[in-house]
Every structure is written in structure tokens, then in C-alpha cells.
Amino acid sequence: MRWVLYPVAALTALVTLGLATLAAISILAWPNLPSLEVLTDYRPRVPLRIYTADGHLISEFGEERRSVVKIEDVPPILKHAILAAEDERFYEHPGIDPIGIARAALANLTSGGRGQGASTITMQVARNFFLSREKTYNRKLYEILLALKIERNLSKDQILELYINQIYLGQRAYGFSAAARAYFGKPLSEISLAEAAMLAGLPKAPSAYNPIANPSRATLRQHYVLRRMVEAGFSDNASYQKALKEPLRTQTGSVARNGGNSTPMHGDYVAEMARQIAVEQFGEEAYQLGIKIVTTITRDDQEAAYAALRKGVMDYDRRHGYRGPERFVELPQGADGEALDDILADSSDHDDLLAAVVLEASPSGVKVFRRGETYDITGDGLRFAAPMLSEKSPQGRRVRRGAVIRIRSTEKQGWEIVQLPEVEAALVSVDPHTGAVRALVGGFDFNSNKYNHVTQAQRQPGSSFKPFIYSAGLERGYSPGTLIEDEPLYFPAGVTGSQAWEPKNYDGKFAGLMTLREALARSKNMASIRLLQNITPDYAQDYIGRFGFDPARNPPYLTMALGAGSATPWEMATAYSVFANGGYRIDPYIVKEIHDGNGKLIAKIDPPVAGESAPRVIDPRNAWLMDSMLQDVVRRGTGARARSLNRGDIAGKTGTTNDYLDAWFCGYSPNLVAISWMGFSQPKNMGRGETGGAAALPIWINYMRAALKGVPEKSLARPEGLLSAPVADGSLEDFHYAENEPPALKPEPDWLEQLFSSHTPALEAPEEAIPPVAPAPKPAPRPVPQMQPPAPVVDRMPTPIRR
């Protein structure tokens, strides 16, 4: 008996000594435990979120994707799944689970390692907020002590709420609410039992049990959690069996990276503008305060603008031919899917333009590989790239085995070969009464080029600038019915002070006498220059400031009549809004409201409104007459393609600059102004015939067709103070200011006759032939306005934004 009692006494003494030592350490360590203020005043890092005006998430910025949820809003099935997987006796133990610790200790002693930790949910909260994840006994002791302290200061529901919102679950998702959207595209309230079990299995190892990256391992873990729920009494067998059979539809990788927004918005340029505003206001803290920014754009308008711009750019790209594969790689025979995927790792997809590597190629068919699948492209799908499938095509541009190309899926012809366009485009639409931006697309693809051509690109507007010269003319006594000559002009070097300038019309033809209305509709350059001569460039430069243009970017030379200055699409939207709203200056804006992390409204835009608080900048008669003239541009002028919209309230103007560097269409209905532009970021010739009407107008039409669908036609009310009278040739009547004489031909200076006498016009020239004319150092023999176009506008590409 004595031999039995000695070992028991020795073991008891060792246990007593161990407990005493542990108690002593705990007593010494307890005062040094961190304050629980971070838990009692929980302020999680919630990302900056950008929304449309109608409540759709555009984007979010921040290292941690998180949506804080109250414990009472957590579905019971998720609570039970978490408890079954992590801590079945959570509501019973004091923060540590002795049974679990004993089980883990026995398992570790048996295996000779430290594989199991037996952490309760409270201990995990302690670790996540205060400790590292290293597996040491010292760290475990602090974890236990912190858990006990937490349990003394917080309720069980408070602790579980912290856990549910703080735990990392993969896909940059922190907390179960964010994870539900990231993996399943659902709010937490809509998840099923099977989905709850999948989520509850993630805390153990988020990367290993990620259902998107490792679906098979994630399913095994899910089945374990479902089984534990039955064993713990949280679920019955029928529900268990049903959950096992439920097919789980997880998000694709791209959608998951977008925060689980299953129908992601194409609003990257808008989101970036809003992000910059947030950082200006709140600094780097903006990324973790849970700030919500509501923009002015609407989902339908934005998606219509994005689709219209993409189609316009792709159509342009197709007109100019296939350039060949992006690159070539060595492709050994028998290369497996993993090796092929590695090859494509450096070629990101750009929306529906997908990277693929060619396995086989011939004029009759191409076989490609992407993401574990092979696709055969034949028939019409080869048409675009056909010239580069021939054996006669240049070796460096031929589609062959090892070529990395772009493919796209279409409804009509299945897969087709495409390419990433090099040309850029921009589109912005604005409510002309308030300035609220309805849609904004700053380029073809934000991930390829973050430069926002709507707000940053100072480009020559070409003939789209002419309406502002004509508007100035109306204020100087002209009217739409005034006759003006469309005849050749020639300015010798002695007059310009540099080289001779011989401006031309686009078609190389001259129509003689015509009304200002006709001259604007047909975009006649000679008539515009003569008009500017008579009202003087200095007056015009001052006048255009009313529309929001920077006079310094539009020097007072005759070339101003041809749009030789510079402006952004944003400025053009501001300016055309004056015509659309009856003469008021509005300021476009993109952010409508800002809310803090608690949902409290902290900022709201109160914009000037046309007809109320916005300043009037032109006479209402001027606005009405210009609207009438710009409608004729669409009815029978250079913008005639827009007649396909079958609306009588559309007005606008095309613009094409010298050497086809820029193509514009600036137009509106009374309730919506839209500006479309196309060109290269570093200006270069887009190709013969790529005018505003051919390149930019189709984008504008496709957007407006969607944006104005179901919107009734509307026209500006004719203001008082206008009279109608026959024009000088008696062919028709037109309106003019009541205080002015009926329209008549404006006499031309005598000296021009001498310049015209020996002039022969060229056969054809671009719409706006803008010469590099220097200032005149010598006085002209007669008072001739000096001419000097500004230096060529070159966009400077900004440093890529780090996100």
C-alpha cells in the first residue's frame, strides 16, 4: 500500500507545485495585461465604400474588407455552425474550456508536438486583438489570462459579436458578413445551412479551406462542421442530409475580389475620383473609418456609357486591322494545364477581352487554352485575325503556336479573336440643371490606363468649339439668318508674321453666301473665321469665359474659330449645359453625399440650380437661338447620324482636329448633356476619315439611346424679345433679337479682296486645318487680328495610383 501512496503523493505534490507556480505567474502577469478599451470601444477597420445614387456598390478601398453586423442580426444557423466548429460550450465555460485543454494536452503529448491549442472563441478574440499566432506556452498563458479578463468585462453575446466581425476569413474578408458576400454574393441574412457551415469552417485555415481556391478541401471541412452541428444538437439529421446535397455556387475569382458584388459596376474612374476626394478630406484614415460616399451617377446610365464607349472603341479598332499577337512564348510539347496557366499569369484579362495561349493555328481554325480549358475558334471568329493566319503574314505578327492572344465570347459566333485597343475614348454625361454627373468613363480600361481623359486630358476641341464663337456673334448683333461668305481665305507670311496660312473646309468646297445657321450646320471653317474677325478674337476670348473655359488656354487669334485652344470633356460638358438649360452656368460634380462609419450624414452637396441659384451667363434668347441652330446640325448637318434616335429635341456639334488627332461629339437633350471624345493618349493621327461624326458620334448615340429611353421629348420655351424676319436673300425667315435690325450681310474688309484675287483653293483638307502660326512681329499693312495657335496639346501621363 505504501508503494502505491508514494507515487500518488509525488504526483499530487508536482501538480500542487505547478498550480502554485502558475498562480504566482498569473498574479504577477495580471496587472500587466493590456487594457480592454479596444474591445469595449470597438472600432473596426471598415473600408471606404463608393456607391451610385441609386444604392449600388461601385468599389471599396482598404486593406480589410469588412461589414460590421450586430449579434441580433446574425442568423441562428451561422451562430450554431460557428459554435459547433470552434467552441461548443462557449455559453457555459468562463473563457477557457478545461475539458478542451485537457484533450488537446493529451493529444499533444501523444504526438510529441503542439498541434492542438484548444482555443475557445474568447481566447481567439484575445489572440486576434492582442497577441501573435506563435505557438508557445508563454503566449498560451497570456491568451488564457486575457480570455478570463475579457469574460469578466464583456457578455457572451458581446464577445461573439466581436469574433464574428473581426476574424479573418480569406479573400481580404474580415468578419462573416464580408465573407458571405465575398464567397456567395449574399448578405448574411440570406445564407443557407450549407453556406453557413462552409463559412464556419474557414477560421481554422482560411487559405486551406477557401471554397474558391480549394473547393475539395473546403467541402471536406464543411461536412465536418455539419456533422458536428448534429452531434451538438444544433441541427437535425434531415437538415444535415439536405445540406450535404446542396450545390454551392461560389463567386468567380474576379467577383470575389470585387467584394462579392456579383454584377460589378464599371465605375472605376468614378470610384477613383471619389477616393481622391475622401483622402483629401480625411487623409489615410479614410480607408478604415467606414466612410460611405454616394456619387451622383446612376447604375443604368453608367453601364450604358461603359457599353457604348467599349463598342465605339472596338469598332474603331476593327476598322484599322489586327496588329498580331501580344507576345510569343516557348510552348513545349505535352505542356500541362498548370504550366500553361503559369504562362498566362502575366496577361491579365480586361473585362471580356480574355488572355489565351495558342496551341494550334491554321487559316481554318485556332485552338487556344485558358484556365484549364481549350477552345476551338473557327469561321467568323477568325475573320478579324485572318490576315495574320496566312503563311504570307510577317513572322513576328503571325498567329501560331505559342502566341498569346485575346479572345472574346459572342452570342452570334461563339469565340472570336480580338485585341486590346490602343486608341482611347471618354464619355461624360451631366444633368444640365444641377451639374450632377450621370455617367463618366475616363478611358477604355481603367486597369490598363488610369489616366482620366474626362477630367485630365486637355485636347483641341476643333469644330465642337464653334458654337461658342457663334454665340458671341449673336451678342454682337448677328443672327442665325445673317448672311456670311464661305469663300477662300489666305493670310501671307507678312500678315501672320510667320508662315502663310491658308485655312480650308473639310470637303475643299466653298458655297459662297450662306446663313450663319447653315454655316454652323455644315461646319464651314471660312464662315467661322470671318465671323470671329468681325467680332474680334479679344471679345470672343473674354466671352467664352462665361461658359467655364479658361481664356488662357484659348488665345485671341483667328485660329480660335477652329477650336485651336484646349479643353477637357468635363469643361465641354459644363459649356454645353449653358445651351441646354437656357443660359445658366452650372458646375458638374460627382459626389452627392458623404456618411461616416455610423451612417451619419456628414456632408451633402447643395449645387447651384439653373433657373434658381445658378448665375445666368448668356441671354435666354441667345441660348434659344443656339439650341435651334445646334438642332439643325443634327437634322441636316455634320451630326445627322443622331437622327437615328428619332427625337426632335437633340442638339449638338461634331469636332475633328487637324490630322485627325481628336474626334468629338458634344450634344444634349434639354435634360441631359453628353460629351464623347476619341483619340490617342499621346496624340497621333487616328486615320483618314476618323472624324467626330465617324468616331465619336456613334458612342454618343449608343449612350443616349439607352439614357433617353422612355424619356418624353422636351423643348426650350421661346423667350420674349425675338422677332422673325426674312434673311437677306429672301429664301427663308429666321429669328433675331427684337432690338437689332433684320439680318443682313456683314461687309468684309476691303483688304481681303486683294488677298483673294490670286488664290486657288485646295481640293480637300481636314475639317479644321490649324497651322503652326507664330505671333506677328511686324505690323500688318491693315488692322488684321494676329493669329497663333497654342503649342500642340500633349497629355502628360500621371504616375500610376497605388491602391
Please compute the mean of the pLDDT values over residues 115-140 and round it to a whole number. 70
Phi/psi at 707 (nearest 5 deg)? Answer: -70, -30
User: How many Å separate Cα 292 from the centre of its chain?
Assistant: 17
Tell whether the model's pLDDT for residue 744 goes beyond 90.
no
pLDDT at 703: 98
pLDDT recorded at residue 345: 81
Whether 767 contacts 506, CB under 8 Å: yes
**pLDDT attached to residue 68:** 86
Would you call 86 a catalytic residue per the annotation? yes
* Mean residue pLDDT across the chain: 84
> Which of 232-241, 258-267, 735-744 is predicted least confidently?
258-267
Give tens-digit pLDDT for 341-352. Answer: 788 888 888 999
**Range of lowest pLDDT (30-34, 206-210, 335-339, 440-444):** 30-34
Range picked from 53-67, 526-540, 765-779 for highest mean pLDDT: 526-540
Alpha-carbon span 173 to 390, nearest angstrom: 49
* Choice between 251 and 719, residue whose per-residue pLDDT is larger: 719
Q: Residue 698's pLDDT is what?
A: 98
Beta bridge mates, 293: 50, 594
- Residue 628 falls in the annotated catalytic set: no
Considering the chain, what percentage of its residues have pLDDT values greater than 70? 81
Which is the catalytic residue, given 59, 67, 429, 463?
463
Q: Which long-range contacts (CB under 8 A, 24 or more apart) does 679-684 make?
A: 679/423, 679/424, 679/425, 679/459, 680/422, 680/423, 680/424, 681/424, 681/449, 681/451, 681/453, 681/457, 681/795, 681/797, 682/794, 682/795, 683/459, 683/792, 683/793, 683/794, 683/795
The catalytically annotated residue of 60, 86, 571, 767 is: 86
Q: What is the pLDDT of residue 127?
A: 82
pLDDT score for 37: 63
Q: Could you report how far apart the first and last alpha carbons of the chain are, in Å? A: 75
Which range has highest mean pLDDT (133-147, 183-197, 255-269, 684-698)? 684-698
pLDDT in tens, 650-690: 999 999 999 999 999 999 999 999 999 999 999 999 999 99
Label residue 162 by pLDDT band (50, 70, 90): confident
What are the tens digits of pLDDT across the range 88-115? 888 888 878 777 666 666 655 565 544 4
Asked if 611 and 433 touch (Cβ cutoff 8 Å), the reply is: yes
Average pLDDT over residues 553-575: 96
| pTM (two decimals) | 0.80
Per-residue pLDDT at 120 exceeds 50: yes
Residue type, 119: S
Q: Can you tell me the mean pLDDT for 130-159?
A: 76
Residue 337 has pLDDT above 90, yes or no: no
Only one residue has cell 471541412, namely: 221
Residues 6+ apart with CB under 8 A from 653: 463, 464, 466, 467, 520, 523, 630, 633, 638, 639, 665, 666, 667
- 237-241, 339-343, 588-592: lowest mean pLDDT where? 339-343
Pick the closest to residue 782 from 738, 752, 758 (CA basis). Answer: 752
Q: What is the pLDDT of residue 799?
A: 32
501, HSE (Cβ side, Cα atoms, 13 Å):
25
Average pLDDT over residues 230-237: 91
pLDDT of residue 154: 85
pLDDT at site 750: 44
Q: Is the pLDDT of residue 423 over 90?
A: yes
| pLDDT tens for each residue of 775-794 | 333 333 333 333 343 333 33
Largest Cα separation within the chain, whole Å, is: 138
Residue 427 has phi, psi (to 5 degrees) of -145, 135
> pLDDT tier at 208 (50, 70, 90 boundaries)?
confident
Instruction: Determine the Cα–Cα distance for residues 50 and 801; give it in Å rounded to an integer.
Output: 17
pLDDT digits (tens, 9 = 90+) for 375-394: 999 999 999 999 999 888 88
Please report which confidence band the pLDDT of residue 549 belongs to, taking 50, 70 and 90 as the band edges.
very high
Q: Do the beta carbons of residue 787 and residue 559 sit within 8 Å?
A: yes
Rg of the chain on CA atoms, in Å: 35
Neighbours of 126 (CB within 10 A): 28
Per-residue pLDDT at 115: 45
Q: Which domains does the chain have, with CATH numbers?
A: 64-264 (1.10.3810.10), 326-418 (2.40.50.140), 462-591+614-756 (3.40.710.10)
Q: Using an 8 Å Cβ cutoff, are 288 and 426 in contact?
A: no
Bridge partner residues of 168 (DSSP)? 174
Q: What is the mean pLDDT of residues 466-489?
A: 96
